[in-house]
């Protein structure tokens, strides 16, 4: 089956039939005006023949558009035209003086019987081929369409979360020397922590006895080229494979173990020292505080590790 089904109108102008097929009320249909053009008859005559044989056109074969559906159909069909006579013509103009009738695939097949001509039969066959080609195309590419729909919905959700993140970062400025997050402020707490990460230019050192993969996810937001060193408990749940996979995308992270420090510290570029009252994997789950300490303590902390 050819992917494009082409027919010529009475002026020998090529018409891509599939470009005339619309989706209305969840069905693939064609509008009476476009069908009349393809059959080489006036729209009025086509509809007269349908009315004379109305018993052959139940609601699943044909239905009349609402005003809103009419406007939407006009917009779609006009978008298929390369050049318009009047680019901004009112959609309720000469093409929408009456509410069109839409014909389903079965309705198109019935039209060849009521129009009673060899041309009508051949035209109906070509139109039916267009319906079938379109259906096969949709079936063969259903997975792609599903993935595109998922990506669109995911992008909308990601944009919303990014907007929220920037809003939170505006509320909790990096310049804040100390602060308290209360139970349930999980997003706020992580937004604050990610603002710490974002300010690093060369190196980040984290000292936290309870590190898991959620912490590594936060370090994925660091700037390119910033080295990360994590000191944690020897019983950490992060594996060497986790570190390897992280470094394949966001080099470079080194995991070291220590049992000499109880509190959580974050050191940025060897000049800013944060004391954080909760393990980073538990930020916002309970009330905790953070503060910036005198940077002169950095050397002493690193010495005892």
Q: Could you tell me which residues are beta bridge partners of residue 291?
A: 178, 275
Question: Per-residue confidence at 38, pLDDT binned at 50, 70, 90?
Answer: confident
Instruction: Tell me the pTM.
Output: 0.44
Block residue for tokens 């990506």: 151
Q: Could you tell me which residues are beta bridge partners of residue 22?
A: 29
Which DSSP category does 266 fall into? E
What Å distances lie between residue 219 and 119, 295, 297, CA to CA?
A: 69, 22, 24
Strand segments (E) across the chain: 6-8, 14-16, 22-24, 27-31, 62-64, 101-103, 178-181, 203-207, 227-232, 253-257, 264-268, 272-276, 288-293
* Cis preceding-peptide flag for 252 (omega within 30 of 0): yes
* Domain covering 173-304 in this structure, CATH number: 3.30.870.10
Q: What is the pLDDT of residue 11?
A: 45
3-class state of residue 219 by DSSP: helix
Which DSSP category does 100 fall into? P
Q: What is the pLDDT of residue 84?
A: 39
CA angle at residue 285 from 280 to 288, to 5 degrees?
A: 70
Q: What is the pLDDT of residue 55?
A: 92
User: Taking the CA of residue 161 as centre, how many other CA atoms within 13 Å lie in the half-sphere pointing to its CB?
Assistant: 9
pLDDT at 294 over 50: yes
Asked if residues 106 and 131 have their Cβ atoms less than 8 Å apart, the reply is: no
Does an H or E element contain 288, and which? strand 288-293
**Mean pLDDT, all residues of the chain:** 79
Q: What is the pLDDT of residue 209?
A: 92
Residue-wise pLDDT tens digits, 255-268: 999 999 999 999 99
Q: How far apart are CA 105 and CA 62, in angstroms?
A: 9
Q: Could you tell me which residues are beta bridge partners of residue 288?
A: 181
Q: Is 25 left (phi over 0), alpha (psi -120 to 50) or beta?
A: left
Residue-wise pLDDT tens digits, 78-116: 765 543 343 334 444 444 568 899 999 888 888 878 887
């Amino acid at each position: 089956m050819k992917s494009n089904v082409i027919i010529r109108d009475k002026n020998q102008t090529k018409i891509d039939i599939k470009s005339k097929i619309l989706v209305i009320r969840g069905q693939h249909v064609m509008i009476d005006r476009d069908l009349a053009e393809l059959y080489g008859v006036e729209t009025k005559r086509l509809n007269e023949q349908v009315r004379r044989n109305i018993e052959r056109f139940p609601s699943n074969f044909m239905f009349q558009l609402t005003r809103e559906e009419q406007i939407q159909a006009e917009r779609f069909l006009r978008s298929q035209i390369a050049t318009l006579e009047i680019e901004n013509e009112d959609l309720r103009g000469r093409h929408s003086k009456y509410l069109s009738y839409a014909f389903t695939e079965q309705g198109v097949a019935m039209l060849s019987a009521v129009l009673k001509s060899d041309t009508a039969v051949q035209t109906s066959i070509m139109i039916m081929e267009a319906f079938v080609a379109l259906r096969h195309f949709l079936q063969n590419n259903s997975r792609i369409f599903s993935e595109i729909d998922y990506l669109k919905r995911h992008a909308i959700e990601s944009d919303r979360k990014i907007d929220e993140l920037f809003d939170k970062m505006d509320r909790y400025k990096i310049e804040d020397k100390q602060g308290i997050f209360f139970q349930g402020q999980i997003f706020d707490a992580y937004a604050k922590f990610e603002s710490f990460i974002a300010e690093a230019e060369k190196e980040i050192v984290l000292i936290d006895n309870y590190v898991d993969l959620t912490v590594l996810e936060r370090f994925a937001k660091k700037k390119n080229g910033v080295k990360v060193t994590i000191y944690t408990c020897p019983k950490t749940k992060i594996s060497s494979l986790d570190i390897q996979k992280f470094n394949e995308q966001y080099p470079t992270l080194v995991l070291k173990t220590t049992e000499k420090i109880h509190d959580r510290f974050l050191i940025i570029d060897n000049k800013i020292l944060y004391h954080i009252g909760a393990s980073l994997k538990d930020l916002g789950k309970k009330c905790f505080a953070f503060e910036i300490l005198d940077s002169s303590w950095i050397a002493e902390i690193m010495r005892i590790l």
